[in-house]
Amino acid sequence: MDYQFREIEAKWQKYWAENQTFKAELNTEKPKYYVLDMFPYPSGAGLHVGHPLGYIASDIFSRYKRLKGFNVLHPMGYDSFGLPAEQYAIQTGQHPAITTEANIATYRRQLDQIGFSFDWSREVRTSEPGYYKWTQWIFMQLFNSWYNLATDKAEDISTLIEKFNTSGTADVKAVCDEDVATFLPSDWANFTEEEKQKELLKYRLTYLKESTVNWCPALGTVLANDEVKEGFSERGGHPVEQKKMMQWSMRISAYAERLLQGLNTIDWPEPVKEMQRNWIGKSVGASVRFSLSPTLSKGEGANYAYQTADPLIWEVLKTNARANRSDQTPAETELWQSLRASKTGHKIRRQHPIGSYIADFICINKGLIIEVDGGYHNENQQNDSLRTEALNKLGFEVIRFTNEEVLADVTSVAQKIKHTLDQRSDKLPANSLSLGEGGGEAFIEVFTTRVDTIFGVSFIVLAPEHDLVAQLTTAAQQQEVADYIAKTKKKSELDRMADTKTVSGAFTGSFVINPVNGEKMPIWIADYVLAGYGTGAVMGVPSGDQRDWLFATHFNLPIVQISDAQQNIDVEADSTKEGKYINSGFINGSTYKEATTILHQWLEDNGVGKAKINYRMRDAIFGRQRYWGEPIPVYFKDSLPYLIKEEELPLMLPEIDKYLPTESGEPPLGRATDWTYENEYEYELSTMPGWAGSSWYWYRYMDAQNSSDFASKEAIAYWKDVDLYIGGSEHATGHLLYSRFWNKFLKDLGYVNEEEPFKKLINQGMIQGRSNFVYRLIDEEGRGTNTFVSYGLRKDYKTSALHVDVNIVENEVLNLAKFKTFRPEFANAEFILENGKYICGVEVEKMSKSKFNVVNPDVLIENYGADTLRMYEMFLGPLEQSKPWNTNGIEGVFKFLRKFWRLFHNENWAFHVEDNIPTKAEFKALHKIIKKVQDDIERFSFNTSVSSFMIAVNELTDLKCKNRQVLEDLVIVLSPYAPHICEELWSLLGNKNLSTAKYPTFNPAYLEENEFAYPISINGKMKMNLSLSLSLDEAQATEAVLGNIQVQGYLEGKTPKKIIFVKGKIVNIVV
RNA sequence: GCUCGGAUGGUGGAACUGGUAGACACGCAGGACUUAAAAUCCUGUGCCCUCAACAGGCGUGCGGGUUCGAUUCCCGCUCCGAGUACCA
pLDDT, one tens digit per residue, over A447-468 is 999 999 999 999 999 998 888 8
Neighbour tally for A656: CB within 10 Å: 18
Distance A891 CA to B9 C1' (A): 21
| Mean pLDDT along residues A802-813 | 79
Distance A811 CA to B27 C1' (A): 8
What single-letter DSSP state applies at residue A305? Answer: G
For residues A680 and A644, give the distance between their C-alpha atoms in angstroms, rounded to a whole number.
13
Q: Examine the pLDDT at A185 and tell me if it is beyond 80.
A: yes
- Which nucleotide is closest, CA of A453 to its C1'? B88
A465-483 in b/e burial notation, b at 16+ Cβ within 10 A?
bbebbebbbeeebeebbee
Distance A784 CA to B81 C1' (A): 35
Identify the residue whose Cα has the smallest distance to the C1' of B67: A1020
Question: Residue A461 is which amino acid?
Answer: V
Whole-number Cα distances in Å, A812 to A806, A836, A888, A1055:
9, 13, 9, 56
* pLDDT tens by residue, A980-1008: 999 999 999 999 989 889 999 999 999 88
Distance A1015 CA to B54 C1' (A): 20
pLDDT, residue A486, reads 82
Top-confidence range, A326-330, A587-591, A721-725: A721-725
Cβ-based contacts (< 7 Å) between A 10-69 and strand B: none
pLDDT, residue A383, reads 53
Higher-pLDDT residue of A500, A604 = A604
**Three-state DSSP class for residue A406:** helix
Burial of A795 (0-12, 13-18, 19+ CB in 10 A): exposed
- Which nucleotide is closest, CA of A499 to its C1'? B86
Neighbour tally for A769: CB within 10 Å: 20
> What residues does A1046 pair with on adjacent strands?
none
Interior angle at CA A331, CA A325 and CA A337, nearest 5: 70
pLDDT, residue A374, reads 62
Whole-number Cα distances in Å, A421 to A333, A347, A397, A429:
20, 10, 11, 15
- Which nucleotide is closest, CA of A936 to its C1'? B16
Identify the residue whose Cα has the smallest distance to the C1' of B87: A533
Q: Examine the pLDDT at A774 and tell me if it is beyond 90.
A: no
* pLDDT tens by residue, A893-936: 999 999 999 999 988 888 989 998 999 889 999 999 999 999 99
Top-confidence range, A83-92, A154-163, A484-493, A1058-1067: A154-163
Higher-pLDDT residue of A229, A758 = A758
Whole-number Cα distances in Å, A390 to A212, A506, A892, A1039:
20, 27, 75, 94
Q: Examine the pLDDT at A602 and tell me if it is beyond 80.
A: yes
pLDDT, residue A696, reads 96
Distance A497 CA to B87 C1' (A): 13
Preceding peptide of A650 cis, ω within 30°: yes
Distance A271 CA to B21 C1' (A): 29
pLDDT, residue A151, reads 94
Query: Which distant-in-sequence residues (6+ apart) come within 8 Å of A381 by Cβ?
Result: none
| Mean pLDDT along residues A854-880 | 90
Residue A579 Cβ under 7 A from any strand B atom? no
- Which nucleotide is closest, CA of A529 to its C1'? B86
Q: Quick one: which of A504, A520, A509 has its CA closest to A476? A: A509
Q: Which range, of A69-83, A369-383, A686-700, A701-715, averages the lowest pLDDT? A: A369-383
- Which nucleotide is closest, CA of A1019 to its C1'? B68
- Which nucleotide is closest, CA of A286 to its C1'? B88
Confidence of residue A355 (pLDDT cuts 50, 70, 90): low
Where do the DSSP E strands lie in A517-560?
Answer: 520-525, 537-540
* pLDDT tens by residue, A395-442: 678 888 877 788 888 888 888 888 888 877 664 332 222 233 333 457
pLDDT, residue A299, reads 33
Cβ-based contacts (< 7 Å) between A 508-537 and strand B: 527-530, 532-534, 536
pLDDT, residue A738, reads 94
| Alpha carbon A712 to its chain's center | 29
ipTM over 0.90: yes
- Which nucleotide is closest, CA of A943 to its C1'? B13
Distance A75 CA to B16 C1' (A): 31
Q: Quick one: which of A628, A858, A889 has its CA closest to A80? A: A628
* pLDDT tens by residue, A565-577: 888 888 888 888 8
Question: Residue A61 is which amino acid?
Answer: F
Interior angle at CA A343, CA A342 and CA A348, nearest 5: 40
Q: Examine the pLDDT at A633 and tell me if it is beyond 90.
A: yes
Q: Which range, of A334-348, A593-607, A686-700, averages the lowest pLDDT? A: A334-348
**Three-state DSSP class for residue A37:** strand
* Single pTM value for the model: 0.82
Q: Examine the pLDDT at A478 and tell me if it is beyond 80.
A: yes
Cβ-based contacts (< 7 Å) between A 287-346 and strand B: none
Top-confidence range, A316-330, A374-388, A952-966: A952-966
User: Mean pLDDT, chain A, as a whole number?
Assistant: 85
Q: Which range, of A189-203, A369-383, A779-793, averages the lowest pLDDT? A: A369-383
Higher-pLDDT residue of A374, A612 = A612
Higher-pLDDT residue of A323, A67 = A67
For residues A283 and A547, give the distance between their C-alpha atoms in angstroms, rounded to a whole number.
18
Pairing of strands A784-789, A830-832: parallel
pLDDT, residue A295, reads 43
For residues A561 and A880, give the distance between their C-alpha atoms in angstroms, rounded to a whole number.
49
Q: Which range, of A348-352, A561-565, A812-816, averages the lowest pLDDT? A: A348-352
Residue A231 Cβ under 7 A from any strand B atom? no
Q: Which nucleotides of B are covered by protein (CB under 7 A)?
A: 3-5, 11-16, 19-21, 23-29, 40-41, 56, 68-70, 81-88
Q: Examine the pLDDT at A495 and tell me if it is beyond 70.
A: no
pLDDT, residue A382, reads 44
- First-to-last alpha carbon distance for chain A, in angstroms, is 62
Longest dimension (CA), chain A: 124
Torsion from C-alpha of A861, A866, A869, A874, nearest 10 degrees: 160
pLDDT, residue A451, reads 92
pLDDT, residue A76, reads 96
Cβ-based contacts (< 7 Å) between A 854-893 and strand B: 875-878, 881-883, 886, 888-889, 891-893
Q: Examine the pLDDT at A296 and tell me if it is beyond 50.
A: no
Q: Examine the pLDDT at A498 and tell me if it is beyond 70.
A: no
C-alpha neighbours within 13 Å on the C-beta side of residue A667? 23
Cβ-based contacts (< 7 Å) between A 748-807 and strand B: none
Distance A288 CA to B88 C1' (A): 12
User: To which H or E segment does residue A262 belong?
Assistant: helix A256-262
- Which nucleotide is closest, CA of A450 to its C1'? B88
Distance A886 CA to B43 C1' (A): 28
What single-letter DSSP state applies at residue A759? Answer: S
Residue A545 Cβ under 7 A from any strand B atom? yes
